[in-house]
Amino acid sequence: MRLDSKIRVIPDFPKPGISFKDITPLLQDPEYFREAIDSLAQRLSSRRFEAIVCPEARGFIFGAALAYKLNVGFVPVRKAGKLPYNTIKGEYDLEYGKDTLEIHEDAVKPGQRVVVLDDVLATGGTIKAVADLVEKVGGVVDCMAFLIELQYIGGRQNLKQYEVLSLLEMSS
């Protein structure tokens, strides 16, 4: 089963020059979605961690399913103003701008090992901000995991202090 066959490329979205990787065809096909979750779960099953931490929105799709499958907690990291309890903030650069993320101050316990997961690794800015938030609240990043890694952008270089796992590697 070739998961990459279910990734649709949208040129010039959300702005000219960006080649957006649309995962919705994969999500719409239950066999491919199951294969993606099962493959990620298999890659993570031998690791010792207690939660999966994901940024909204597409990361939630994979993170929640994986947390359920692996019987670990799920920690949402959201855009500013979306979480109801006391939060810690982190700003980061996007491929096409800046943004702010928040995590509940008690979402990860001191010393707790977590996997930080998202659907796509591009520049690494978003996931680095998530890892920084985990570490600010005392957590330990066991590894980072992605459905897709855009190798041509080089985000892995910005995450050298972490182990990075990806199911699909795209060179263009």
The helix (H) or strand (E) run that includes residue 28 is helix 24-28
For residue 14, whether the previous peptide bond is cis, meaning omega lies within 30 degrees of 0, is: yes
Give Cβ neighbours of residue 9 (< 8 Å, ≥ 6 apart). 19, 20, 21, 22
H or E segment to which residue 20 belongs: strand 19-22
Residue 72 backbone dihedrals phi, psi, to 5 degrees: -130, 170
**What is the helix (H) or strand (E) element at residue 66, kind and residue range?**
helix 58-70
**Helix 30-44 × helix 58-70 angle, to 10°:** 60
Catalytic center residues = 58, 95
